[in-house]
Chains A and B, each alone.
Chain A
Amino acid sequence: MTEVAQYVINWLALGSIYALLALGIAIVFSLLGLINFAHGELVTVGGYTMVVLAIWDVPWALIIPLSIAAAAVAAVLMERVAYRPLRGAHVATTLLGSLALSVVIQNLFLMFAGARPEAIPFPSWTQDTFEVAGIVIRTLDVLTFATTVVLLSAVLLFLRRSARGIALRAAAENFDVTRLMGVRANALIRGAFALSGLLAGVAAFFFLATAALVSPTTGFVPLLKGFIAAVIGGLGSLSGAVLGGFVLAGLEVSFQATLPEGASPFIDAFVFGIVIIVLFIRPHGLRAERSALVERA
């Protein structure tokens, strides 16, 4: 019984991280039809920012918001430097440009920070645990889940209620007509990237807190997970991305729980196989995330 509870907590915490990452990817995708392969590098940016700020003895109360801000800024820069010139290009072209961007950033870190992983001196409370009904729970996990719930609700509220959020959804559906309403196109896209960066920054904190290390290639796993989660949820659907995050985490945790020892390294392969199947069953293609409510001609 306690085992099940343990798994549930793992699932919720892991799912939260994946959901944050997936949502960041999905926001950009739903607006621009673009998969930002460099999204993982935003996590790396967050990590290195933490390292640097910690070296400068900045208190963690400041480090956290600053590293999140750094990720948001990095995202906006990405948009300005790499994605704006690619607007309107062929899907394949943009995919490859996105991949190139990711590689460039990774190697820039390699060049300037070195290949060796750097330790991040997380505050000690990230290692704390407490006990409830015989179950050992990490404070971090609870915090991860709680923060994610709050953050996602805020984002959702923003998208549903605020003028900017509605404009964002409108632009995701029909960019040109949205411009006709006087909505500033570039500002909107910038804002979307900033938001995705913010989500990545938050995810970075929770993701990195366990291993407490960052290296140039750190971003790879978050990208992979976030991306797969977004795909499972149906690329372009924001709520789908969140759902996908929890589904992915659920798959991983349940495979880990049920499969025999020897098979555990192959969990990833199973999951990837499921991704292909999902793509097959929902063969809408990357662009067809129209709502079921298509306007009539």
Chain B
Amino acid sequence: MAARAFGIRGVWAYAQERWYLRALIGAALVSAVLAVVIVWVEWGGTPTDKRVALTFLINLVAVIGFQVFMGNSGVPTFGHVGFIALGAYTAAVLTTPTERKTAPSLIPDAPSFLLNAEFGFIPSLLFGVLIAVLVAAVAGLVIVRLRGGSAAIATLALLLIIRTVIGNWEEITRGPKTWSGIPEFTTVWVALLVAVGAIFIARFFRESGVGLRLRATRTDELASSAVGVDISRARYASWVLSAGIAGAAGVLWAHYFLSLAPQDFFFTLTFLYIVMVIIGGPSVSGAVAGAGAITLVTEFVRRSETGGIHLGPLDFDQVFGLTPVVLGLLVLLTVIKRPEGILGRWELDELLSKATARFRARRSGQAPGTVAAVDTQSFTDKDEELGAVGTRQQERTSSSPRRGKDKRSHEGGKNE
């Protein structure tokens, strides 16, 4: 195959066979699209547009954090907003000017090493990620061993724990009170840089050995463990990595919105991000697409609502509540009709590959899907689902929750 490495087609085929090149090309592709959009907005957009774009980038980093875990493992996480909170508060505590911190209104009783800390952006980012990763490393030991829906519940419990601790640890976080006065480091280019970094990391993870093994468990837990995949270990890797990315999002958040409150990082935000992941689908490109799509929808709905004041971080207008309804309905629609999201399960470059292969096959008169049609594709490292019977059967809710032999026999409305 590599012998025919002349021309674009050959190079593409060559690259497809090597996972790191695939990851590189794929991430570069998506990042390029992203960069183009951002530049376009910066060049010709209104201040509101620019604000939306920056918020979008911060949300994107967060969603990629979700995706690295949820998209690859198939386990929903309700806890990642907690990591965002950890990143944000770490950034806040470590970078807010000392005089502000020592003032009686903020955190005068904090340990002095915290009071004296006045770091710049890079250390802030590093520490934010570090704290998130540490907490994730500990919690993950338990969480990744849970199977079925228990894991999701445990992530929910984690969110609650983090929320409760941050919301009550007055000495360090000001407890339930708003923290303000964070230095502004996040510009659109900083955010773009972090976002692109996240895209590359996420994509490399997805294509790597660990990522592949993890994705196998998403499709079929039993089968993958039968071929020796250690589910817990694979999940642990993605759990910790994703927490780090979420922490980075939190740092960006803190340095953009400049003030924090514990309730910012709770169910409302969780819901928003989960919607984005669901709509976009479990791939990295999907995360980008989902974040973008939902941002557009939210903006559209908001501009249709009359009046109301839109404060800072929350994308929902609490007075009207229309936006969440729309989003909620979108989620319901998506999970019912197209559970794999906008892009199916695929990355952008994978979709392109498939489209060109089909186009080429049709041109040469062969039916797509036959062996000849995949002439230029490699069989290595692709997780193509060949439609084996039974791969989608695991973990279904209901109608036959435990032992029903025939999962298709649950036609509720038949001639009732």
A and B touch in the complex (CB under 8 A): yes
B304 at the A interface (CB under 8 A): no
**A84-B412 in contact given A108-B321, A173-B402, A283-B146 (Cβ < 8 Å):** yes
- Chain A's closest residue to B159 (CB) is A272
Q: Mark B334-353, 1 if CB is under 8 A from A, else 0.
A: 01100100000000000000
Interface 9-mer from A46-54, A91-99, A158-166, A197-205: A91-99
| C-alpha gap A32/B400 in the complex (Å) | 8
| C-alpha gap A199/B146 in the complex (Å) | 30
Does B271 contact A285, Cβ atoms closer than 8 Å? no
The one of B75, B328, B405 in contact with A101, judged by C-beta atoms closer than 8 angstroms, is B328
Does A85 contact B336, Cβ atoms closer than 8 Å? yes
User: From DSSP, what is the main secondary structure of chain A's interface residues?
Assistant: helix
- Chain A's closest residue to B164 (CB) is A269
B278 at the A interface (CB under 8 A): yes
Does B161 contact A273, Cβ atoms closer than 8 Å? yes
Does B412 contact A87, Cβ atoms closer than 8 Å? yes
- Chain B's closest residue to A35 (CB) is B149
Does A96 contact B331, Cβ atoms closer than 8 Å? yes
**A174-B400 in contact given A107-B328, A265-B164 (Cβ < 8 Å):** yes
- Chain A's closest residue to B271 (CB) is A103
Q: Output the least CB separation between B103 and chain A (Å).
A: 23
The one of A33, A86, A280 in contact with B142, judged by C-beta atoms closer than 8 angstroms, is A280
- Chain A's closest residue to B149 (CB) is A286
A89 at the B interface (CB under 8 A): yes
B293 at the A interface (CB under 8 A): no
Does B271 contact A99, Cβ atoms closer than 8 Å? yes
| C-alpha gap A176/B146 in the complex (Å) | 28
B395 at the A interface (CB under 8 A): yes
| C-alpha gap A279/B151 in the complex (Å) | 8
Residues of chain B contacted by A95 (CB below 8 angstroms): 76, 149, 152
Does A97 contact B407, Cβ atoms closer than 8 Å? no
**A91-B339 in contact given A32-B401, A107-B325 (Cβ < 8 Å):** no
A100 at the B interface (CB under 8 A): yes
Q: Mark B143-186, 1 if CB is under 8 A from A, else 0.
A: 10111111011100110110011011000000000000000000
Does A288 contact B397, Cβ atoms closer than 8 Å? no
| C-alpha gap A87/B412 in the complex (Å) | 8
A60 at the B interface (CB under 8 A): no
CB under 8 Å from chain A, chain B span 363-416: 392, 395-410, 412-413, 416
**A87-B399 in contact given A273-B157, A279-B154 (Cβ < 8 Å):** yes
Q: Output the least CB separation between A66 and chain B (Å).
A: 26
Interface centre among A93, A174, A284 (most CB of B within 10 A): A93
A275 at the B interface (CB under 8 A): yes
- Chain B's closest residue to A185 (CB) is B412
The one of A32, A107, A266 in contact with B324, judged by C-beta atoms closer than 8 angstroms, is A107
The one of B321, B399, B416 in contact with A175, judged by C-beta atoms closer than 8 angstroms, is B399
The one of A175, A216, A287 in contact with B404, judged by C-beta atoms closer than 8 angstroms, is A175
| C-alpha gap A281/B372 in the complex (Å) | 52
Does B339 contact A93, Cβ atoms closer than 8 Å? yes
B249 at the A interface (CB under 8 A): no
Q: Mark B269-284, 1 if CB is under 8 A from A, else 0.
A: 0010011001000000
A210 at the B interface (CB under 8 A): no
B134 at the A interface (CB under 8 A): no
A296 at the B interface (CB under 8 A): no
A34 at the B interface (CB under 8 A): yes
| C-alpha gap A283/B147 in the complex (Å) | 7
Does A272 contact B157, Cβ atoms closer than 8 Å? yes
| C-alpha gap A87/B409 in the complex (Å) | 11
**A104-B325 in contact given A32-B401, A84-B412, A268-B160 (Cβ < 8 Å):** yes
B327 at the A interface (CB under 8 A): yes
Residues of chain A contacted by B356 (CB below 8 angstroms): none
**A287-B148 in contact given A107-B325, A115-B318, A266-B164 (Cβ < 8 Å):** yes
- Chain A's closest residue to B218 (CB) is A92
A110 at the B interface (CB under 8 A): yes
Does A91 contact B148, Cβ atoms closer than 8 Å? yes
**A176-B335 in contact given A95-B149, A283-B150 (Cβ < 8 Å):** no
Does B322 contact A111, Cβ atoms closer than 8 Å? yes
Q: Output the least CB separation between B209 and chain A (Å).
A: 24
The one of A35, A111, A272, A285 in contact with B146, judged by C-beta atoms closer than 8 angstroms, is A285
Does B161 contact A272, Cβ atoms closer than 8 Å? yes
In the A-B complex, the 7 residue pairs with the smallest Cβ-Cβ separation, listed nearest first, are A285-B148, A110-B321, A104-B328, A286-B149, A107-B321, A100-B331, A176-B404
Instruction: Jot down 8 A-B pairs with beta carbons below 8 A, ordered by A.
Output: A32-B397, A32-B398, A35-B149, A84-B412, A94-B398, A185-B399, A279-B150, A290-B402
13 further interface pairs, Cβ-Cβ under 8 Å (given A89-B335, A91-B396, A287-B395): A85-B336, A86-B336, A103-B327, A104-B329, A111-B320, A173-B403, A174-B402, A272-B161, A273-B157, A277-B142, A279-B157, A283-B146, A288-B148
